[in-house]
Amino acid sequence: MSASMQIDKDRVVYFHYRMSEAGADFLEASEPDQPMAYLHGHGNLMPALERALDGRQAGDKIEVTLQPGEAYGMPRPDAQQRVPIKHLVNTGARAAARLRPGMAVKINTADGPRDARIIKVGKFNVDVDTNHPLAGKALTFAIEVMEVRQATVEELAHGHVHGAGGHHH
C-alpha cells in the first residue's frame, strides 16, 4: 500500500464523508472510526462521486455537490401506489396496527423486498411512495480520502470490497 497511490479502476478506496442537502441540513456521515470502502470503477458508488474521486489519493479532501439527476434522481409520480398491508415485510396484525404515515417499510415484490415510505394507512391497504427519500434533492458530499490500495483478486471477482468497511460473506 502506497500513500501516493491514486484512485483508479480496480482500486479499493477508504474514505470518510459527510452528506448534507445542498446549502442546508446535515443528513448523514461515516462513523469517525469506520471509513466507508468501495471498489472504484465497479458501480458501487454514484457515478458522479466516482468521477470526482478519480485520480485523488490518501489525504485529499474534496467537496462536491450533486444535482438530483446525479444523485437519487427526480421523484417519479408513478412511484406512489396502493399495496395490501399483507404484502409488507414482517407485518403481522400487531405491527400493522402501528403503521403510520412517514414510516419506512419494505414491500414483498416478485423481484424481492423493496423499500417504500407510507403515505396513508387504510384498514387493508397502505398508500406508499417507492421513490428514494432523497429523490429530488441536490446533495453536497464532503469527502476525505483515507487510504487507496490495489484490490485483491477475490474483490475483483466479486465486484466489491471485502473486510472492514466493505462486504462480509
pLDDT in tens, 119-163: 999 989 999 999 998 999 999 999 999 999 999 999 999 999 987
Cell numbers placing 109: 415484490
Residues 44 and 68 in one domain: yes
In whole numbers, what is the pLDDT of the chain averaged over residues?
A: 89
Count of domains for the chain: 2
Q: What sign results for the dihedral spanned by CA atoms 104, 43, 152, 30?
A: negative
Q: Which of 99 and 1 is assigned the larger pLDDT?
A: 99
Domain holding 104: CATH number?
Answer: 2.40.10.330
Residues 66 and 144 in one domain: yes
pLDDT band, very low/low/confident/very high, at 164 (cuts 50, 70, 90)? low
Shared domain check, 46 and 22: yes
Does residue 1 form part of some domain?
no
Print the domain residue range for 139: 11-72+135-158
Contact status, residue 126 vs residue 82, Cβ threshold 8 Å: yes
**92 inside domain:** yes
The verdict on residue 151 lying in a domain is yes
Q: What pLDDT was estimated at residue 56?
A: 97
The answer to whether residue 53 is domain-embedded is: yes
In whole angstroms, give the CA distance from residue 113 to residue 121.
19
Give me the mean pLDDT over the 76-81 stretch: 91
141 & 68 share domain: yes
- What does the pLDDT read at residue 169? 47
